[in-house]
Amino acid sequence: MTSIDFTPHGVCSRNIHVELADDGRTIERVAFTGGCNGNLKAISKLVAGKPVDEITAILDGNTCGNRPTSCADQLCGALRAAVAQAAGDTAPAEA
């Protein structure tokens, strides 16, 4: 299992914790710190068990209000960082 803590930028949440299954491509668990509690808990439940590629295709580029990003968009960055880590890439887990 791959586990990372990602620091999002430009949103209310302060941290996104991602856990991927042993295949490095399936989301096991996501947890947000800060942000819109109910919405982010719902997103976390909806993405669990789904392939990273499916979720990033849906959420990438999503915005929040007049911001150019959102917690869902930042989740995509966290998922990509987790996939890179699972693949052995040592790129930092920051957006």
Nearest CA to 74 among 26, 1, 14? 14
Give me the helices (H) in the chain, please.
37-47, 52-59, 71-86
Q: Is the pLDDT of residue 90 over 80?
A: no
Tell me which DSSP letter residue 7 carries. Answer: B
* Domains of the chain with CATH codes: 2-86 (3.30.390)
pLDDT digits (tens, 9 = 90+) for 2-36: 999 999 999 999 999 999 999 999 999 999 999 99
Rounded mean pLDDT, 48-59: 98
Which pair of structure tokens corresponds to residue 80? 């990509």
pLDDT digits (tens, 9 = 90+) for 68-83: 999 999 999 999 999 9
Q: Are strands 13-20 and 2-6 parallel, antiparallel or unpaired?
A: antiparallel
Tell me which DSSP letter residue 87 carries. Answer: T
Q: What pLDDT does 56 receive? A: 98
Quick count: other Cβ atoms within 10 Å of Cβ 82? 27
